[in-house]
Amino acid sequence: MTEQRPVILAIDDQPEVLSAVQRDLRARYSDDYRILGTTDGQEAIATIDELALRGTPLALIVADQRMPGVTGVDVLRSSLDKFPAAKKTLLTAYADTDAAIDAINEVGLDYYIMKPWDPPEDKLYPILDDLLVEWQAAYRPTYTGIRVISQEWSRQAFELKAFLARNQIPYRSMLLEKDAEANQLMEAAGADLSQLPLVLFPEGEPLTNPSTEILAQRVGLQSHARADAYDVAIVGAGPAGLAAAVYGASEGLKTLLIEASAPGGQAGQSTLIENYLGFPKGISGADLTRRAYSQATRLGAEILVPARVERVERKDPYRIVHLADGTSITAKAMVVTSGVEYRQLQAEGLEELKGAGVYYGTSNIEANYHRDQPMFVIGGGNSAGQASLFLTRFTDSVTIIIRGDSLDSTMSRYLIDNIEANDSVSVLPRSQVAGAHGGTHLESIVLRNLDTDEQTETKAGAIFIFIGQKAQTDWISDLVQLDERGFVLSGPNLGPLKNWNVDRDPFPLETSVPGVFVAGDVRHDSIRRVAGATGEGSTAIRFVHQHLASL
Ligand SMILES: Cc1cc2nc3c(=O)[nH]c(=O)nc-3n(C[C@H](O)[C@H](O)[C@H](O)COP(=O)(O)OP(=O)(O)OC[C@H]3O[C@@H](n4cnc5c(N)ncnc54)[C@H](O)[C@@H]3O)c2cc1C
């Protein structure tokens, strides 16, 4: 971690004077402040830029006025926009008094100190003590974590921020249009608009328009396996995969969990899971994920994020798992827990506005972006119901758009009751979205009435789409048997088996390939609940043991 004590910066072109100032400053202030010094005015300006870039507070500048090229006043002027609250002093000779007085008006000089300042106890410390007390009183610590600087509706920035949020990595979003500091930081980093989004870190170089993989590496996520071979490889870190990893690792299996996007899967996007056993007030998906993730790693599972499995090759008795980055690992057994993803809604203009008002799923970030604007939820299932209630924390206008007559046959009663009791949510039946309009971001949607075919355009801040889900099985479709909708068949549901080369019947949760198991929403006939997924993930490990024992 970078040193975040506030800085006192001293500048004097004469090395012996600089070391005397630094010596005196250190003697009194080094417990609470970091003392930096330079003999070069240009370098001082660069240091000020660098401190701003890193979010390190600058408390005080002590600058010699008379320096070749860049003067003390020039240095103080350069700090004005980045550190308006920093205290500014000039070291002056008698002949510089006029320049110092001018500087009071020009740069808000706080004090000019006549050289020499001996003894410092009389001529230096009383002045600086006062200035630093004043600075401390006004100082509000700046945010020094990861900062993402972008234009307001940047899709790349949306993806980076969603990635950080889903992986529970704190960051601050700074928009050029709304935050003067964002402009200064972009300038200080020497970046221009074409290099945005810009990601700043407390230490090390900023990243310009990074991919999620580069960002992941930088924030310390592990996306490459440490070993070549594992007892069990689990694909997908939703509740099913996390449960399998906890049980696998705790029962002594060398366990690798591979996640393409962020741990938690769909559950990670749930704002409040109310029906998971043991949490009477409900638990947010993010909280549940954090707990499961640390439990799995503490027990010894290795978790790769982001790492996408592209295909699996059968080399009996091993399974070779090929990852999108070109690497591969060998596993004696596998658990498929790749879940489902939202179906995409097809209507004119939606694709272009994805991430800028059009969203699949919802979280604090998107909801906050559109605070106090009219929001629409498309779909009538439980996740749509949960999302619409969540959105009422941000706006008093949420409309659920459904094709059917009512929510009765698609949503749980407790959610319908809550929706009916909430004045901020209304339901628009027999309707669908026919199009979306907007420039940099969504401005309106076109609604079609399914009975009359009449179309109306209405102002919209954001739409959140929940229109059903599709199994994530492209990566394994040429290996295991799937049902007609793409879900993985297992145990008693399997059709006639080809290449079944072990001397036993498939275990429950075992696919058409020996040693490859399936758990959670991606399984044919699953109940699509967190509890179901965690139950199946842990149960699959029991069968993994039995399979390994039979090898
Ligand atoms: C908004 C919302 C609210 C919900 N609320 C509730 C609730 O209140 N109560 C409840 O019981 N259930 C709820 N559910 C349902 C519940 O979240 C799911 O049943 C559960 O998450 C399924 O878990 P899973 O592990 O099977 O799959 P998922 O959660 O879908 O996770 C699958 C994971 O696999 C990863 N993956 C996919 N393909 C690959 C690949 N090729 N390589 C690597 N990784 C891959 C994905 O990125 C994903 O992280 C909710 C769902 C949603 C969307």
Averaged in consecutive runs of 10 residues, what is the pLDDT profile of the chain (551 residues)?
79 95 96 96 95 90 92 94 92 81 86 91 93 87 85 91 89 92 92 95 92 93 95 98 98 98 91 87 90 94 97 97 97 98 94 92 83 96 93 96 96 95 97 96 97 97 94 97 97 95 95 98 95 98 96 85
From residue 48, alpha-carbon distances to 139, 234, 501 in Å are 17, 49, 69
Extract the tokens encoding 95. Answer: 């002949």
> Closest Cα to residue 475, out of 322, 307, 262, 326?
322
Establish whether residue 275 lines the binding site of ligand 1, counting it when its CB lies within 6 angstroms of any ligand atom: yes
**Pairing state of beta strands 375-378 and 462-465?**
parallel
Establish whether residue 269 lines the binding site of ligand 1, counting it when its CB lies within 6 angstroms of any ligand atom: yes
Angle CA 239–282–237, to nearest 5: 10
C-alpha 403/C-alpha 450 separation (Å) is 7
pLDDT score, position 3: 55
Establish whether residue 415 lines the binding site of ligand 1, counting it when its CB lies within 6 angstroms of any ligand atom: no
Establish whether residue 91 lines the binding site of ligand 1, counting it when its CB lies within 6 angstroms of any ligand atom: no
pLDDT score, position 137: 83
> Closest Cα to residue 441, out of 422, 461, 456, 471?
461
Question: Which of ligand 1's atoms lies nearest the C-alpha of 340?
Answer: 30
Residue from 223, 338, 523 to probe ligand 1 pocket by mutation (most atoms less than 8 Å from CB): 338
- 59 neighbors 86 (Cβ within 8 angstroms): yes
Residue from 221, 389, 522, 530 to probe ligand 1 pocket by mutation (most atoms less than 8 Å from CB): 530
C-alpha 14/C-alpha 35 separation (Å) is 17
Chain centroid to Cα 334, Å, comes to: 29
Q: How far is the CA of 238 from the centre of ligand 1 (A)?
A: 5
pLDDT score, position 443: 97
Establish whether residue 239 lines the binding site of ligand 1, counting it when its CB lies within 6 angstroms of any ligand atom: yes
Establish whether residue 467 lines the binding site of ligand 1, counting it when its CB lies within 6 angstroms of any ligand atom: no
Please name the helix (run of DSSP H) or strand (run of DSSP E) that holds residue 104, with its range, or none.
Answer: helix 97-107
Extract the tokens encoding 66. Answer: 């008379």
Establish whether residue 241 lines the binding site of ligand 1, counting it when its CB lies within 6 angstroms of any ligand atom: yes
CA-based radius of gyration for the chain: 30
Q: How far is the CA of 177 from the centre of ligand 1 (A)?
A: 35
Question: Which of ligand 1's atoms lies nearest the C-alpha of 527?
Answer: 19
pLDDT score, position 166: 86
Question: CA dihedral in degrees (218, 219, 223, 228; nearest 10)?
Answer: 90
From residue 448, alpha-carbon distances to 434, 451, 471 in Å are 6, 9, 29
> Closest Cα to residue 397, out of 373, 417, 415?
373
C-alpha 394/C-alpha 374 separation (Å) is 10
Question: Which of ligand 1's atoms lies nearest the C-alpha of 275?
Answer: 9
- 378 neighbors 349 (Cβ within 8 angstroms): no
Q: How far is the CA of 90 from the centre of ligand 1 (A)?
A: 61
Q: How far is the CA of 487 from the centre of ligand 1 (A)?
A: 14
DSSP, res 32: T
Angle CA 347–406–416, to nearest 5: 110
- Dihedrals φ, ψ of 144, to 5°? -120, 10
**Closest residue (by CA) to atom 48 of ligand 1?**
265
Question: Which of ligand 1's atoms lies nearest the C-alpha of 521?
Answer: 26
Q: Can you name the residues that pair with 319 across neighbouring β-strands?
A: 314, 331
Task: List pLDDT tens digits, range 106-147.
Answer: 888 999 998 899 999 999 999 999 999 889 888 877 677 899
Q: How far is the CA of 269 from the centre of ligand 1 (A)?
A: 8
The 10 Å Cβ neighbour count of residue 489 is 19
pLDDT score, position 1: 42
Residues sharing a CB contact under 8 Å with residue 129, sequence separation 6 or more, in sequence order: none
DSSP, res 174: E
DSSP 400-462: EE-SSS-STTTS-HHHHHHHHT-TTEEEE-SEEEEEEEESSSEEEEEEEETTT--EEEEE-SE
Question: Which of ligand 1's atoms lies nearest the C-alpha of 240?
Answer: 25
C-alpha 446/C-alpha 99 separation (Å) is 65
Establish whether residue 343 lines the binding site of ligand 1, counting it when its CB lies within 6 angstroms of any ligand atom: no
Extract the tokens encoding 81. Answer: 């926009």
Question: CA dihedral in degrees (209, 213, 219, 220; nearest 10)?
Answer: -160
Side-by-side strand order, sheet with 442-449? 431-438, 442-449, 455-459
Establish whether residue 323 lines the binding site of ligand 1, counting it when its CB lies within 6 angstroms of any ligand atom: no
Establish whether residue 186 lines the binding site of ligand 1, counting it when its CB lies within 6 angstroms of any ligand atom: no
Q: How far is the CA of 12 from the centre of ligand 1 (A)?
A: 61
Predicted TM-score (pTM) of the model is 0.76
